[in-house]
Amino acid sequence: MHIRLIAVGDRQPAWVDEACRIYSGRFPPHWKFRIDKIPTTRRTRAGQSAADSEVEIILSKLRPRERMILLDERGKQFTSKALAGKLTEWQNSGLDIAFVIGGPDGVNDLCRSRAHLVWSLSDLTLPHGLARVLLSEQLYRAWTLQTGHPYHRE
């Protein structure tokens, strides 16, 4: 199973990239994790919205064998243990995973309908960079729960 993060926003603070690098460096090598960054589209006064433009790029980057997991505040929430169970399901499916974080204006209904799952990291509104870090950490935590590593404590 390969895991990818498709994220709108190509200019994040250095600490975001560093934290994601640290956590993803701990992932098992067979995940072949990577982050694909999409530039944020400027808002225009007339015509197509920024979210619509960004979604076209997001959807064009998805591969046929990828299960899209959209990160959105209106999605389903999981405990860390439940996420570990979901990760096991995804691994057993034989499909690759593409997590998607939209831009400041979110995503449109077309993108939402393409998602296999809409996942909320929190009821709080999070900056996009922090969502990237939180996703990376939670994927690492889920993997440690799967493997019995002592990182997660109750």
The arrangement of strands across the sheet holding 34-38 comes to: 34-38, 3-8, 96-101, 66-76, 117-119
| pLDDT exceeds 90 at position 89 | yes
Q: Is residue 154 part of a domain?
A: no
The pLDDT value given to residue 133? 97
Q: Give the E-state strand segments of 28-153 in sequence order.
A: 34-38, 66-76, 96-101, 117-119
pLDDT computed for residue 47 by the predictor: 57
**Chain centre to alpha carbon of residue 32:** 15
Region 6-28: mean pLDDT is: 94
* 99 three-state secondary structure: strand
Is the model's pLDDT at 153 over the cut of 90? no
Residue 46 pLDDT: 60
User: Using one digit for the tens of pLDDT, what is the confidence trace for 32-52?
Assistant: 999 999 988 876 666 567 777
Which residue has tokens 């449109």?
108
Who has greater pLDDT, 60 or 48? 60
Q: Indicate whether 115 belongs to any domain.
A: yes
pLDDT of residue 44: 65
Which of residues 99 and 65 earns the better pLDDT score? 99
Residue 10: pLDDT band (50, 70, 90) is confident
What's the length of the chain?
154
Is residue 128 situated within a structural domain?
Answer: yes
Residue 81, pLDDT > 70, answer yes
Residue 152 lies in a domain: no
Residue 18 has pLDDT above 70, yes or no: yes
pLDDT at residue 106 tops 70: yes
In the predicted model, what is the mean pLDDT of residues 90-100? 93
Give the CATH number of the domain where residue 17 resides: 3.40.1280.10
Specify if 153 maps to a domain. no
Strand partners, 87: none
Look up the domain containing 78 and give its range: 3-147
| pLDDT score of 108 more than 80 | yes
CA–CA dist 21, 40 (Å, integer): 21
Identify whether 81 is part of a domain: yes
Domain total of the chain: 1
Q: What is the mean pLDDT of residues 54-59?
A: 90
